[in-house]
Amino acid sequence: MIVADRKSIHEILDMVKDCSNILVVGCKGCVTVCNVGGLKEVQILAATLKIARKKEGRPLQVDEALLERQCDPEYIAMIQDRVNDYEAVISMACGVGPQFLSEAYPNQRFYPAVNTTFFGGAVAHGIWEERCAGCGTCIIHHFDGLCPIARCSKSLMNGPCGGSDHGKCEIAKTVDCIWDKIVRKKMEQGRLNDLLQVFPAKNWQTARDGGPRRSRREELIQNG
């Protein structure tokens, strides 16, 4: 899923400092799963903004909405009757949400309440880690399901580099050296020879380097 972190309350307050009424829109998708932009977080943000502004002596009216997803036009349409009743709208979805909202409602101002960070998963309760870089050409079958593109700090395809230390990456002791894991797994399985080939340079055209990407499913387009 897409993992995000909420922006600081100060940053969000600054975005809406000129407003007297706003709408906060959550998303039931990824940001709900990573506890950043679902119903509970919408309620907390709304309450926090109201309290902060009340303290300043400039009360802010904050209404709440929760969409099934903010990355589909049919769900975006569900707030059409009320979206323009506010001076601004804060989206708690990933970066896709406020963009879909902006495109659907060109007369309204939308602000992002979260920083969208990576594609990852929960490795423990409350801890999410990056697992995919969305490069568009998956190669993890060569590396026993471990991704050196997303998980090596240098995206090395022929690692580990000389900075690997006690299974940790040179950039920080909190970061695993994924190449250490790849090599050890190959050794355990007696398949170290798999790594003796020189993996050729990657074609990054399928990654963001090839420009904004688009996915088309012809059968859905025709039948839809």
Q: In the numeric block, which tokens belong to residue 87? A: 């001076």
- CB closer to another protein out of 126 and 200: 200
Query: Which member of 124, 127, 201, 221 binds another protein (CB under 8 A)?
Result: 201
Stretch that binds another protein, among 26-34, 107-115, 126-134, 199-207 (CB under 8 A): 199-207
> Does residue 59 have a cis peptide bond before it, meaning omega lies within 30 degrees of 0?
no
The CB-of-190 to another protein minimum distance in angstroms stands at 12
Query: Which member of 95, 121, 134, 167 binds another protein (CB under 8 A)?
Result: 167
Q: Is 204 in the site for another protein (CB under 8 A)?
A: yes
Q: Is 195 in the site for another protein (CB under 8 A)?
A: yes
Q: Is 133 in the site for another protein (CB under 8 A)?
A: no
Closest CA to 149 of 90, 204, 210, 68: 204
Q: In the numeric block, which tokens belong to residue 175? A: 């970061």
Per DSSP, the three-state class of 26 is: strand
Q: Is 196 in the site for another protein (CB under 8 A)?
A: yes
Burial 45-67 (b: 16+ CB within 10 A, else e): bbeebeeebeeeeeebebeebbb
The CB-of-182 to another protein minimum distance in angstroms stands at 10
Cβ(113)–Cβ(7) under 8 Å? yes
Q: Is 190 in the site for another protein (CB under 8 A)?
A: no
Q: Which H or E element spans position 179?
A: helix 178-188
Query: Which member of 9, 136, 180, 206 binds another protein (CB under 8 A)?
Result: 180
| Residue 110: other Cβ atoms inside 10 A | 21
Interface mask (CB under 8 A) for another protein, residues 142-161, using x and -? -----------xxxxxxxxx
Q: Is 183 in the site for another protein (CB under 8 A)?
A: yes
Q: Which H or E element spans position 190?
A: none
Question: Using CB under 8 A as the criterion, which residues of the chain lie in contact with another protein when the complex forms?
Answer: 153-167, 170-172, 177, 180, 183-184, 187, 192, 195-196, 198-202, 204
